[in-house]
Chain A
Amino acid sequence: MKRLGQHFKTFFHSYSEIFFLQSPVAGAFLFLVTLTNPNVGIAGIVSVLAAYLFARLIGMSETFLSSGFFTYNALLVGLSIGYLFALGPLSLFFIVIAGIFTFMLSVMLNSIFFYYLKLPILSLPFVIVSSIAYLAAYRYSNLYVTGLYAHGETLSLDLPFWLEGFFVSLGAILFSPNVLAGMLFAVVILLASRILFLLAVFGFYLGATITGLMEGAMVSAFLQIYNFNFILIAIAIGGVYLVPSPKSYLIAGIAVAVATMLLDAIHIFWANYGIPAFTLPFNVVTLTFLYVLGLVGFPLVALAVRHTPEETLDEYISNIHRFRGSFRKLTLPFSGYWTVWQGFNGTWTHQGSWQYAYDFVIDKEGKTYRSEGTRLEDYYAFRKPVLSPCKGRIIKVISNLPDNQPGVVDKTNNWGNLVLIDTTLGYFVELSHFAQNTIRVKEGEWVETCANLGLCGNSGYSPQPHIHVQVQATAQLGAVTLPFSFHGYLEAECFVANDLPQEKSRVQPICATRTMDFQTAFILEQQFTFKALQGNQLVKTVTLSVRMAIGGETYFDSGKGKLFFAKDEHSFYFYRLEGNDPWLSLIFAALPRLPLVYRQGMTWEDVPPVSTISFGWQRQLYHLARAFYHRIGQVHYKAHWKAEGLIAGTLQSGFRHQDLPLEVVLHSSLGFSQFRVGERCLERQEEK
Chain B
Amino acid sequence: MANPMKIRAANKDGVTEVKVLISHEMETGQRKDAAGALVPAWFITELTAKHNDKLVLSSEFGPSVSKNPYLAFRFKGGAKGDKIIVSWKDNKGDSRTDEAAIG
Chain A complexes with chain B: no
